[in-house]
Amino acid sequence: MTELAPGSTIGILGGGQLGRMLSVAASRLGYRCHVYEPAAAPAGDVAHAVTNAPYEDQAALRAFAESVDVITYEFENVPTAALDLLESIRPIRPNRRALAVSQDRLTEKDFLAGIGLRTAPYRNVETEADLPAALADLGAPAILKTRRMGYDGKGQIRFRDTDQRDWTGVPSVLEGFVDFTAEISVIVARGADGQVAAYDPGLNVHREGILRTTTVPCGLPASLLTDAVLMAARIVNALDYVGVMGVELFVTPQGLVVNEIAPRVHNSGHWTQAGCAVDQFEQHIRAVAGLPLGDGQRYADVEMENLIGDDMARLPELLRKPRVQVHLYGKGEARPGRKMGHVNRLL
């Protein structure tokens, strides 16, 4: 793969905060970014160009693809028909297989099991009629998750007993209970030449299905963290992946269990902006542009905290604190559950 020359344009599907931070990282390496986003695009504040059009607009998609040199994405739920058209014009990195695996929770779990990694026990629940048998197999507690489009706790129903009969309304996966003591995530990158680089695993804390903090170091045994990195590397190699991926894992008495993968830069990797010379956003741009991967070695201990909804009222206080790095996403209304920014605290 030929390296993109400075001045080339990277197309980004999705205009949220991840696209915004990717655009900033690309600009430091001399690249321009063109963002494609059907709705409001915070990334548009810092990108070279923005196309606001639906993914069904073939003319807009074609014009976008012809204006860029390579295409990447900040979220994985891009319609297949749009990807087909875009890929006929420009390369998409990470590749379409990574998207196909991550867009469907059942496909993702089948893939992970197929390469020898442990996941939560699961059953396909295609229709509401499949639910009783799945609950009988896995028991309760369990979580029913939509196979597609769920994130930040959306599209999920918790089952506390096997008599419960709530339904998502769409094909879903029932996940059995995992007795875990912690959740960690590995931010891993793979270059076009097959080079793999991983950041230190971070310890994640969620509330109401939304990530609240990620802390490094995570205080777990070195052997377990090595296993986590090796598992992440196995995933990106199996997918012939190019770019950054987030891999979430549960720590259990029986070992590590893969919770989910995200084929993009990841919320739990924001700490790298304060803790590493090359953060996850620059690492992703390097990979999709065909550049050598950077040094992901951690040189500081960091806690990342998401600023969600009313947390924005704390902004004046946070700005006054020493050793705190504030990142705001340029969004308007601070609604409950909406990620407005994050802070990185040096510990």
CATH code, domain with 39: 3.40.50.20
Question: What pLDDT score does 86 carry?
Answer: 98
Structure-token pair, residue 193: 């030449």
Q: Do 237 and 292 lie in a common domain? A: yes
Contacts of 15 (CB under 8 A, 6+ apart): 35, 36, 37, 39, 40, 41, 42, 43, 44, 47, 50, 74
Q: Do 251 and 309 lie in a common domain? A: yes
Q: Do 227 and 318 lie in a common domain? A: yes
Q: Is 153 annotated as belonging to a binding site?
A: yes
Q: Is 176 annotated as belonging to a binding site?
A: yes
The domain containing residue 236 runs over which residues? 182-346
Q: Is 155 annotated as belonging to a binding site?
A: yes
The Cα-based distances of 267 to 59, 154, 169, 190 in angstroms read 32, 16, 28, 18
Q: Is 156 annotated as belonging to a binding site?
A: yes
pLDDT (tens digit per residue) in 193-234: 999 999 999 999 999 889 999 999 999 999 999 999 999 999
Q: Is 152 annotated as belonging to a binding site?
A: yes
Q: Is 259 annotated as belonging to a binding site?
A: yes
Q: By percentage, how much of the chain surpasses pLDDT 70?
A: 99
Is 106 contained in some domain?
no
Q: Do 205 and 152 lie in a common domain? A: no
Q: Is 128 annotated as belonging to a binding site?
A: no
pTM: 0.95
Which of the residues in the chain have pLDDT under 70? Answer: 150-153
Angstrom distance (rounded) from CA 277 to CA 279: 6
Is 108 contained in some domain?
no
Structure-token pair, residue 29: 């390496």
Q: Do 242 and 314 lie in a common domain? A: yes
Q: Is 145 annotated as belonging to a binding site?
A: yes
The Cα-based distances of 212 to 152, 291, 330, 338, 340 in angstroms read 11, 33, 19, 12, 12
User: Into how many domains does the chain fold?
Assistant: 3
Question: What pLDDT score does 150 carry?
Answer: 67
Q: Is 191 annotated as belonging to a binding site?
A: no
Nearest 10 degrees: Cα torsion 332, 334, 339, 343: 90
Q: Do 14 and 153 lie in a common domain? A: no
Q: Do 258 and 340 lie in a common domain? A: yes
On whether the CB atoms of residues 162 and 144 are closer than 8 A, the answer is: no
